[in-house]
Structure 1
Amino acid sequence: MNKLSKKDVFKYATFARNLDGQENVIRVGAINYLIDQVDEPEKVVIPQFVADWIEKEKRANSQLHSVISTSLNYSNHVENWIDWCKNNKKFTETIARAWLNGYEVVKEPKWVVKLGNSYLYEPMADVGSNGLIRLTRNKIEAYHFESKEMADIHIDKFGGEAEEVLANE
């Protein structure tokens, strides 16, 4: 059966007749079945920075129309916003749908630095003054870089190779 709109639920809902022949008893089972068939809006998929921004604006009790009009003025991730808007011609519709119907966040790849049989445990800023780096043999415990570029910076310093990490790793 195709999904029904909310309007269809009431259109198809019928009343059962009681013993006197009067239509005044609602068939709850039929209503519950029809309600289960209501089409829920599909959630859009957006990047994490857009999700963060939407949540920030909702906490601030912003209005949707002002949120959409100021989306490109969002100070953090300006380059990401511009790229996302260029690649998503209906970005205002996507923002509105995310705001109203909810959203899912794009699973963005993470990167680890593999050095032989081990992985970098912490980023360069955390390297001790003695120049020692901490390693782990457990990929899950390794430091997860947000971008391959950041992993490559560490590879330039320490050697090794960048490895993409799956969402469950």
Structure 2
Amino acid sequence: MNKQELIEKLREHGAWCTECHDINGKKDRYVKAAKVRELLDQLDEPQKVKVPECVAGYIVWCHSEGLTLWEVFKTIRGMPEKVWEWLKDEEHQAIFSKAYTDGYEVEEEPKWKIINDQKYCLTSIEAGYGNSLHWAFDSTKKKPILFDNEETAMYTAYITGGTVEKV
């Protein structure tokens, strides 16, 4: 139940007072309602959890198919491998449940860049003739090459003589 639904329920059950009350020498017929509203304003909205991009995409797909949370956990048909691997962790199952019902934010996937001794970033790498590679480290505002996979970044750093740095 969200905050607005709670307000409606309180109205249905007579929590909104219509009788007069004397407060500090002043008549106020909505004192109870004001107090209830004050308390409701202190009510925290559910915190959104963070999930990986692949999980967020799967949640979107499940909602578009009209699947309940029970149906999602009951079957693994069509579940992408990355999502399945992530859901094997019991803590992730609880996070998934909360994300599915209360909403979520997409967790940014970590990225890596390669820098050299002068702190210049690797900005280009290309294959040359034969087995040669050509790369460039640049100190200007050119965008560095960002790697999604730390292992690939480390291999490339080894080849280019740089070091890996998490972005």
Which band: TM-score by shorter chain? 0.5 to 0.7
Amino acid at match of 2:94: E
Residue 42 (structure 2) pairs with residue 37 (structure 1): yes
Preserved contact between residue 121 and residue 135 of structure 1 (Cα < 8 Å) = yes
Paired residue for 1:55?
Answer: 60
Preserved contact between residue 113 and residue 147 of structure 2 (Cα < 8 Å) = yes
Paired residue for 2:155?
Answer: 153
CA–CA distance in structure 1, aligned partners of residues 101 and 40 of structure 2: 20
- Secondary structure at 1:109's aligned position in 2? coil
- Secondary structure at 2:165's aligned position in 1? strand
CA–CA distance in structure 2, aligned partners of residues 32 and 43 of structure 1: 24
Preserved contact between residue 46 and residue 102 of structure 2 (Cα < 8 Å) = yes
**Consecutive unaligned residues in structure 2, runs of 5 or more:** 22-28
- Cα 1:90–1:112 change in 2 (3 A) is closer
Preserved contact between residue 85 and residue 91 of structure 1 (Cα < 8 Å) = yes
- Secondary structure at 1:77's aligned position in 2? helix
**Consecutive unaligned residues in structure 1, runs of 5 or more:** 20-24
CA–CA distance in structure 2, aligned partners of residues 33 and 71 of structure 1: 45
Tell me the CA shift for residue 108 of structure 1: 4.0
- Secondary structure at 2:159's aligned position in 1? helix
CA–CA distance in structure 1, aligned partners of residues 57 and 75 of structure 2: 15
Tell me the CA shift for residue 63 of structure 1: 3.5
Amino acid at match of 1:164: K
Equivalent in 128, 132, 135 of residue 134 of structure 2? 132
Tell me the CA shift for residue 16 of structure 1: 4.0
- The structure with the larger Rg is 2
TM-score (norm 2): 0.65
- Cα 1:70–1:134 change in 2 (3 A) is farther
Deviations 1:88-143 (A, max 9, x none): 31443332211110123444432101123321124x5xx25464334332588212
Preserved contact between residue 68 and residue 92 of structure 1 (Cα < 8 Å) = no
What is the alpha-carbon root mean square deviation over aligned residues?
3.6
- Secondary structure at 1:132's aligned position in 2? strand
Determine what percentage of the aligned residue pairs are the same residue: 26
Aligned residues: 148
Equivalent in 69, 72, 77 of residue 67 of structure 1? 72
Residue 11 (structure 2) pairs with residue 6 (structure 1): no
- Secondary structure at 2:40's aligned position in 1? helix
- Cα 1:134–1:62 change in 2 (3 A) is farther
- Cα 1:121–1:60 change in 2 (3 A) is farther
Amino acid at match of 2:111: K
CA–CA distance in structure 2, aligned partners of residues 104 and 56 of structure 1: 16
- Cα 1:50–1:29 change in 2 (3 A) is same
Amino acid at match of 2:159: K
TM-score (norm 1): 0.64
CA–CA distance in structure 2, aligned partners of residues 135 and 70 of structure 1: 49
